[in-house]
Amino acid sequence: MKRRVRDLSLTVLCAACYAGLVYVLAPISFMMVQVRVADALTGLVPILGIPAVYGIALGVFIGNLYSPLGPIDLLSTLPSLLGLWMIYKLRRVSVLLGLLSYSLAVSLWVAFMLYYVTEAPYLIAFIYVFIGVTIASVGLGYLVYHYASKIDLFKALTSEE
């Protein structure tokens, strides 16, 4: 029971942090030239596990309620969930590879959305989005992972009781 409450609390906390960062940093969180700083939270997936996967995916959904692309951007939850799952599965192999996989999955989808909604050239949109997502998830996300893994609070949250 205690673990389920902890996991639910972590899920809600991750969702709130992600959505809050997207909302506060909306000018740089959407469209072709973006660095969605909230993606730095992907660095918590190897540490917090499945609660972070579900929480960040929920945060993507909530954050995208404000998307200038409209309701289609709510579908971004699915490729984000896939990318987050890849981070989780690759956490013992290579955290960087997992974060890069997330960047690729999200960028392929967002480039398609931009092509579909704004008629932006797909390849150009992919390149721009991939650079921004990679800066946020691989660059900032790895820093979050590196430093959070050294913090006692995170060690306590992930310990089996």
| pLDDT exceeds 80 at position 1 | no
Q: Which two tokens stand for residue 97?
A: 């590879």
Handedness of CA 98, 99, 105, 108 (dihedral sign): negative
| Structure confidence at residue 3 (pLDDT) | 86
Q: How far apart are CA 113 and CA 137, in angstroms?
A: 20
Average pLDDT over residues 27-32: 93
Query: What is the full DSSP assignment across 55-98?
Result: HHHHHHHHHGGG-TT-GGGGGGHHHHHHHHHHHHHHTTT-HHHH
Which has the closest alpha carbon to 108: 89, 87, 122, 95? 122
Average pLDDT over residues 94-109: 98
| Structure confidence at residue 160 (pLDDT) | 57
| pLDDT exceeds 90 at position 2 | no
